[in-house]
Amino acid sequence: MYIKSLIIGLGQIGMGYDLAKHPANTVYTHAKSFAEHPDYELVAGVDPSEKQRNLFQKHFNCKAYSTITDALSANVPDLIVVATPTQNHLLAIKQILSYTKPKAILCEKPLAYDIEEGKEILDRCESAGVKLFVNYMRRADPGCIEIKAKISSGVISTPVKAIVWYSKGIFNNGSHFFNLLEFWLGPFSSGKIIESGRFWNDIDPEPDLHAVFERGSAIFMAAWEESFSHCAIELLSPAGRLSYQNGGELIDWQSTRGSSDFDGYVELDTNVERIPNGMSCYQLNVANQLSNAIAGRANTLCTGRESLITLQSINQLLH
């Protein structure tokens, strides 16, 4: 039986990234992931823009509606994606739950800017018996899952120290990497702002900050998105060095070895282990994990409650 899926918000992550000129085997959006995945049926989209609705209907051959109420009057989806601007997440979820109780909602990140709004979204979904997930898509990436396994097994021993580069705001893009470090290193415990920085689009702060997690710590540094995009992690372990570059498209692990030149010295091995990843089809990875979650199987997705913890941790750091 197919998972009937509906997408609210037909912007870049909704469908736009996959309408650009990319190789045929890339999957960067919700629309393409559900259209191509064998477990799903893409039944409808929602967007106030007539242009976006026409593009959706042309490329994905299913109906697009101007309002959530119209879409849910005509469809009973199992899964609803909320890909509206962050400040509209709560309103969209209120409207959804007033009409239907889907098996799951996948909300774009961040869950909210405001903690109380995040709590209300989570409370409403839990009260309705609807599973809530947030699209921190790296949690579904095979490379990131492999790194977590290496940390859990001790191949990457702890405590670690990391440098994280992010851009486009600590909530919008920085939270991807904050949530990823929570996934790898355990709960956030403390931290401080190093430099307050500026605001991206006058909304989202871009501080440089220090964060301490259960199994290590990280310095987050804000880059300049208007100059070039740069999202990366360098993680040092007593057992070696992890390089996570190009947003996760290139992942290398170097273990340690005894120096061949100097007795008693330890150095990084020149033999580098390339860790395979699936960032060229990151939204398809999420669809795989969502299928598991809806069926009650193990999955690595970020739950609504975990996303709220990320939001609370970042707000604790900022205040």
CA dihedral sign of residues 140, 124, 172, 318? negative
Can you name the residues that pair with 233 across neighbouring β-strands? Answer: 164, 244
Tell me which of 1.25.40.10, 3.40.50.720, 3.90.1150.220, 3.40.50.300 is the CATH number of domain 3-137+284-302.
3.40.50.720
Q: Using alpha carbons, list the distances in angstroms from residue 249 to 15, 36, 121, 138, 276.
A: 21, 22, 32, 11, 9
Q: pLDDT (tens digit, 9 = 90+) per residue, 15-65?
A: 999 998 777 889 999 999 999 999 999 999 999 999 999 999 999 999 999
What is the chain's mean pLDDT, rounded?
97
Spell 285-298 as b/e; 16+ CB within 10 A means b.
Answer: bbbbbbbbbbeeee
* Percentage above 70 pLDDT, the chain: 100
pLDDT at 69: 97
Sign, CA dihedral 130-134-140-144, equals: negative
| Residue environment code for 86-100, b if the CB has 16+ CB neighbours within 10 A, otherwise e | beebbebbebbbeeb
How many Å apart are CA 204 and CA 264, to the nearest integer?
Answer: 48
- 271: confidence class by pLDDT, cuts 50, 70, 90: very high
pLDDT digits (tens, 9 = 90+) for 189-199: 999 999 999 99
How far separated are the first and last CA of the chain, in Å rounded? Answer: 47
Residue intervals of the chain classified under CATH 3.30.360.10 are 142-277
DSSP for 153-189, written as a single string: HTSS-SSEEEEEEE-S-IIIIIHHHHHHHHHHH--EE
CATH 3.40.50.720 positions along the chain are 3-137+284-302
| Across 21-25, 58-62, 178-182, 281-285, least confident range | 21-25
pLDDT at 1 over 80: no
Which one is the CATH code of 142-277: 3.40.50.970, 3.30.420.40, 3.30.540.10, 3.30.360.10? 3.30.360.10
Asked if the model's pLDDT at residue 261 lies above 90, the reply is no
pLDDT at 22: 77
At residue 20, the pLDDT reads: 85
Identity at 132, one-letter amino acid code: L
Residue 205 CB contacts under 8 Å (≥ 6 apart), including other chains: 169, 170, 171, 196, 197, 198, 199, 318
| Mean pLDDT on 263-291 | 96
CA distance 101 to 76: 9
> Which pair of tokens denotes residue 292?
């598991």
Tens of pLDDT, residue by residue over 89-148, are 999 999 999 999 999 999 999 999 999 999 999 999 999 999 999 999 999 999 999 999
Distance CA 230, CA 245 (A): 8
Give the whole-angstrom CA distance, residue 150 versus residue 156: 5
pLDDT score recorded for residue 260: 82
